[in-house]
Structure 1
Amino acid sequence: MVRPTRPPESSFPCYALTVPGLEKVAAQELEEELEAEVKRTAEGLVVFRPKRLDKSVLQLRTVEDVFLLLWGSDRLTYRADDLELFERWTAREPDWPKALQVHRSIRPPPRGRPTFHLVTQMHGEHGYRRADAAKAFAKGLAGKFPESWRYAEENADCEVWLTIDGASAVCGLRLSDRTMRHRTYKQEHLPASLRPVVAAAMVRLARLPHHGVLLDPMCGAGTILAERLAVQPRAVLLGGDLEPAALLAAKTNLKSLGQPWLVRWDARQLPIRSGSIDRIATNPPFGRQLGDPEQIASLYRRVVREADRVLVPEGRAVFLVSDIEALELAARTVKWKKQERLRLRLLGHPSYLTVWSKT
């Protein structure tokens, strides 16, 4: 008989959701910041057991949601038989009183009556509908919450998720809320604005020395700068953009974190002294934003040449682009060495996060 993975009675493992392609970076943050043991990774998901399970899990930057792992399986049948399993596993496998106790130790109790909500997600072709899975899931949860709790369609205090993806399913009690994904500092948005979790990954990959200088020459709404300030409030940062609207958005978003130097400039001709920048992290316009591939190649070539000029010897540059060939060609012209390349999926499009060192 197919059996799910059940957490040991002594403690709960957890899982985190991230942008597909960032699993390695998220796993490194879990190991370094929480001393967690990473058990496995899958697309957009990292299963881990923290050394201690407390509010520190909500301070992670490279993940968008964190859950207690209640049960999981990678042996679904794709048939309607799965529905009975969802109901039975949800009803019998988790230690629900203990799970709710852990949830309350991390998320403060509400002032009024507690509320809960169920979320069912399904990807891939199965012999049943998502609505059928949701119904089986709800039946398994019957009677698991105290009678004083009420169901809420939105803004619930407690959420239980069932995520089905192909032959895999995972059930979790959500510890995070929307602010982990969207960040409270981000008040202003621009078209194609960078997701905070990706910006946080870029900051980690830059490996900025404690007293080093970080530059984002095309800062947009300031998300990369904000993610650095969130972990090091006194960091020395420089940011700029050609568009006045971008600088205004960046100033608004950074107001609660600090105010790095923000300058209107052209990233192809920076008013910065040569060899004065330790790290660069930036997200140039994607090809579909400019439209013309020739424009992208020319832009990347000139931006990389200027980045090379201002970087210190052995400095590092982190770029997020869609046209990886144009960037790699530009990097070869200045003899940069590629340290890492990650393929991400953003808004359904392939993107590439690359790390370079100046030789």
Structure 2
Amino acid sequence: MRFYATVPMGLEEVSSEEIEELGGRIYSIRKGKGRVFFEGNQELVPKLNFFSRTLERVLILIENTCIDELEDIYTCLKSLDYSFIKPYQSFAIRSLRIGKHDFTSIDISREAGQGVIDSYMLSKGHRLKVNLDNPDVIIRVDLIHDELFVGLDTTGDNALHKRWYRVYNHPAPLNTAIASSMIRLSGWKEGKILLDPMCGGGTIPIEAAMKMRDIPPGKNRKFAYFNFMGKILPDYTEKEIFSPIYGFDRFRKHVDGAIENAKEAGVLDTIQFMKKDFLKVEDFEANFIITNPPYGLRIGKKRIIEELYTGLFERAVNVLKGDSVLVLITPHKGLVEEIIAKLGFTMLDIIPVKYGNLDTTIFKLKI
């Protein structure tokens, strides 16, 4: 079978490694488009949905082609086989459009939906029911510039990064798939001290603790494939492993929120959350710093952000010990490059990442 996964744009290589570890065979990576194509058996559907930490969605590939006009979408969708949909099942189109076009994602959904209906009527003599709110089958039709991706969604409307443990919502939460990609990129392993000095709602420490203890991120949720493959979930065994993981934040409400999230995730006994201003921290050592510092886009004062980032890196120089690594995500690429050059950091990796509508960069650094 052929599949593709949607992943955070820019992190396709990182997600490809995870897909291969879980049994998929990569055959194409669309860098910058957030799409990874792979082959494997049907067992990959529950396995990837349940265990993957860096993916957004897992789809069974129906079609991948290039189009010029809106009408081409209808023509393409009408030419495809939808025998996997049972006559009694309802369906919905979910579409995404990126690039310059003289039509909208709503237009894509309309044309694609009509193509599915007409194709099924011709082949089966039956008009499929549309249910936009609670469909049995979701077909994703995404257009990125001129490339069309059509897939049977096995994940559902709730993307894989929407973890069950988020009972406290930080005002600027980090996407868990990006957090897990940063952890994977860092090379952090059990036994090494990990610190997020500006942890907010605790996403990075929690994702690290779940990874270390083999707690599946797909726990406590439903998947779209339940409707056409049955409620199949892989077996797993959680580990009772404890390793030094720390989360600091200077705001008490965020520390309390991170504690609530960690409790919900079942890893509160694995992480030490503390109310601390990292810029004032003394006598602390870590091997890995992985963090999503404030972007300050709403503050509007360049000086404040410069002081914050300079302080972050200066403290990191003193805190990091041994064979250490610093990984962070930021929209302030130029500022970070300027600071790390002054302080003597070595750049191990730099990855542009599209985070929503924001252009950000993940840095992997060594002092």
Smaller-chain TM-score range?
0.7 to 0.9
1:155-190 CA-to-partner distances (Å, cap 9, x unmatched) read 434211111233211110011131513111112112
Find the aligned partners of 2:46 and 2:209 in 1 and give their Cα distance.
Answer: 20
After superposition, the Cα gap between the structure-2 partners of 1:70 and 1:323, relative to the gap in structure 1 and judged at 3 Å, is same
Find the aligned partners of 2:144 and 2:173 in 1 and give their Cα distance.
Answer: 28
Give the match for residue 275 of structure 2: 264
Give the match for residue 238 of structure 2: none
Find the aligned partners of 1:220 and 1:72 in 2 and give their Cα distance.
Answer: 39
Of 226-235 and 61-70, the range deviating more from structure 2: 226-235
Give the match for residue 254 of structure 1: 262
What one-letter code is carried by the residue in structure 2 that aligns with 1:222? Answer: G
> CA offset at residue 114 of structure 1?
5.5
After superposition, the Cα gap between the structure-2 partners of 1:289 and 1:36, relative to the gap in structure 1 and judged at 3 Å, is farther
Conservation of the 8 A alpha-carbon contact between 2:74 and 2:115: no
> CA offset at residue 293 of structure 1?
1.5
**Match of residue 48, structure 2, among 49, 52, 57:** 57
> CA offset at residue 338 of structure 1?
0.6
Find the aligned partners of 2:295 and 2:170 in 1 and give their Cα distance.
Answer: 14
Q: Please state whether the residue corresponding to 1:209 is helix, strand or coil.
A: coil
Conservation of the 8 A alpha-carbon contact between 1:30 and 1:38: no
After superposition, the Cα gap between the structure-2 partners of 1:114 and 1:146, relative to the gap in structure 1 and judged at 3 Å, is farther
Find the aligned partners of 1:146 and 1:261 in 2 and give their Cα distance.
Answer: 61
What one-letter code is carried by the residue in structure 2 that aligns with 1:266? Answer: D
Q: Please state whether the residue corresponding to 1:354 is helix, strand or coil.
A: strand
Conservation of the 8 A alpha-carbon contact between 2:57 and 2:159: no
After superposition, the Cα gap between the structure-2 partners of 1:262 and 1:27, relative to the gap in structure 1 and judged at 3 Å, is same
After superposition, the Cα gap between the structure-2 partners of 1:174 and 1:269, relative to the gap in structure 1 and judged at 3 Å, is same
What one-letter code is carried by the residue in structure 2 that aligns with 1:196? Answer: T
Of 244-253 and 288-297, the range deviating more from structure 2: 288-297
Cα-Cα RMSD = 2.6
After superposition, the Cα gap between the structure-2 partners of 1:145 and 1:123, relative to the gap in structure 1 and judged at 3 Å, is farther
Structure 2 unaligned regions, length at least 5: 214-240
Find the aligned partners of 1:164 and 1:145 in 2 and give their Cα distance.
Answer: 28
What one-letter code is carried by the residue in structure 2 that aligns with 1:253? Answer: N
Find the aligned partners of 2:73 and 2:16 in 1 and give their Cα distance.
Answer: 32
Identity %: 21
**Match of residue 342, structure 2, among 317, 333, 336:** 333
After superposition, the Cα gap between the structure-2 partners of 1:121 and 1:286, relative to the gap in structure 1 and judged at 3 Å, is closer
Conservation of the 8 A alpha-carbon contact between 1:221 and 1:249: yes
Give the match for residue 233 of structure 2: none
Give the match for residue 310 of structure 1: 319
**Match of residue 48, structure 1, among 24, 27, 38:** 38
What one-letter code is carried by the residue in structure 2 that aligns with 1:319? Answer: L
Q: Please state whether the residue corresponding to 1:224 is helix, strand or coil.
A: helix
Matches within 5 A, 1:1-359: 11=1, 13-42=2-31, 43-50=33-40, 53-58=44-49, 59-74=51-66, 76-78=67-69, 80=71, 82-90=72-80, 92=81, 96-97=83-84, 115-126=90-101, 130-142=105-117, 143=120, 151-177=130-156, 178=158, 180-233=160-213, 234=241, 235-255=243-263, 256-259=265-268, 260-273=271-284, 276-358=285-367
Find the aligned partners of 1:132 and 1:37 in 2 and give their Cα distance.
Answer: 32
Structure 1 unaligned regions, length at least 5: 1-10, 102-112
> CA offset at residue 128 of structure 1?
5.7
Conservation of the 8 A alpha-carbon contact between 2:249 and 2:277: yes
Conservation of the 8 A alpha-carbon contact between 2:22 and 2:48: no
> CA offset at residue 223 of structure 1?
0.7
Conservation of the 8 A alpha-carbon contact between 1:219 and 1:241: yes
Find the aligned partners of 1:319 and 1:356 in 2 and give their Cα distance.
Answer: 9
1:22-56 CA-to-partner distances (Å, cap 9, x unmatched) read 12221222223334324231412111224652411
After superposition, the Cα gap between the structure-2 partners of 1:129 and 1:179, relative to the gap in structure 1 and judged at 3 Å, is closer
Find the aligned partners of 1:129 and 1:331 in 2 and give their Cα distance.
Answer: 42
Conservation of the 8 A alpha-carbon contact between 1:268 and 1:306: yes
Higher relative contact order (CA 8 A, sep 6+): 2
Find the aligned partners of 1:341 and 1:29 in 2 and give their Cα distance.
Answer: 19
> CA offset at residue 330 of structure 1?
2.4
Conservation of the 8 A alpha-carbon contact between 1:342 and 1:352: yes
Q: Please state whether the residue corresponding to 1:66 is helix, strand or coil.
A: strand
1:47-70 CA-to-partner distances (Å, cap 9, x unmatched) read 122465241111211121111111
1:284-329 CA-to-partner distances (Å, cap 9, x unmatched) read 1113144321222222122112112121223001011121222223
Find the aligned partners of 1:224 and 1:71 in 2 and give their Cα distance.
Answer: 35
Of 25-34 and 253-262, the range deviating more from structure 2: 25-34
Q: Please state whether the residue corresponding to 2:75 is helix, strand or coil.
A: helix
